[in-house]
Amino acid sequence: MNDDDTSRAAPATVLITGGSGFLGSRCIAHALAAGHHVRTTVRDLAREPQLRAALARAGVDAGDRLSLHVADLRSDEGWAAAAAGCGYALHVASPFPAQIPRDENELIAPAREGSLRVLRAARDAGLRRVVLTSSFAAVGYGHPPRPTPFDERVWSDTAAPLAAYVKSKTLAERAAWAFVAEQGGGLELAVVNPVGIFGPVLSDDYATSILLVKRLLDGALPGAPKLHFGVVDVRDVADLHLLAMTDPAARGERFLATAGDFLSVAEMAALLRRNLGAAARKAPTRELPNWLVRLAALADPAVRQIVPDLGNRKNASNAKARQLLGWAPRSAEEALVAAARSLIELGVVRG
């Protein structure tokens, strides 16, 4: 989406949750660039200088059009004040830890209850529409291998064995749709379901998906497991949120956000080597046999989570977002290379 597209909507005050995060800060940057005022929620106001520095790195001077409010997904406190006077909300915040929680409810409860807190506050404050950041995790898991791409009509099967994060995103989105249908009072909902979010990093607060690029660059992966991931650029996901926020066609709809066909870890490593040369010299050149990954899973719970997806090539369609909203994402290659270059520029990994 170009600048002309983003500026079609009349300026409004937009509540963006989780503003200091990887996607949240991009959503703020794009909303400000489109002329909106932004009110964002954080758990600690001490993060404001870091957030403003990240926005400046994205080429945006927030000035007095950005204000920060303290609110936590685990508490009712602060949400009513944050929503008051806003026209729209982008609910981006959701727990996604690098480490697996011992109890899956450590993820499920704040994701589900946090979404409901934001929706209640939005309804009570008279907001027009909330855009919820869900995930491909709520679409493509718990299913047998399939030859056709997933689309927005499919839901992950929570009756199947699922990782805590996958279950949390699925149950949170289900709860959001049920709330709007039963208690929304006219509040509109649209949902964005991104695959793995990559693209340029603005600070050291980046998505867990970026850790994969970091590990490919710094040699932490001795080989590439036979896994496939969808790739999308964070800038395009932010654009899709703004389209879903204001386009009448987005009301009551889900939108998968993916740049195109899913890539294997080996394909990702090859793309980085081709574009970055010596800076990606540690990226693995061989695939790991599935038996070796399963052996490692016996001792490592993090590895155990990926075992069910070994060799299962998933794919997803972005046709709905393209056709209904005119969304035009960057390529997966551009998203991955931009992520890698930004990690090098920030000194997170050495080139």
Write out the catalytic residue numbers. 169
Give 131's DSSP letter.
Answer: E
Is 212 in contact with 229 (CB distance < 8 Å)?
A: yes
Residues belonging to the chain: 351
Contacts 24+ apart (CB under 8 A), 73-77: 73/17, 73/110, 73/111, 73/113, 73/114, 73/117, 74/109, 74/110, 74/113, 74/114, 76/117
**Beta carbons within 8 Å of 327's beta carbon, 6+ residues apart:** 1, 236, 239, 240, 243, 255, 257, 318, 321
Pairwise CA distance, residues 19 & 86, whole Å: 15
Three-class secondary structure of residue 122 per DSSP = helix
Find tokens 């006219």 and name the residue: 186
| Beta pairing partners, 130 | 89, 189
Q: DSSP string covering 289-336, please?
A: PHHHHHHHHTT-HHHHHHGGGTT----B--HHHHHHH---PPPHHHHH
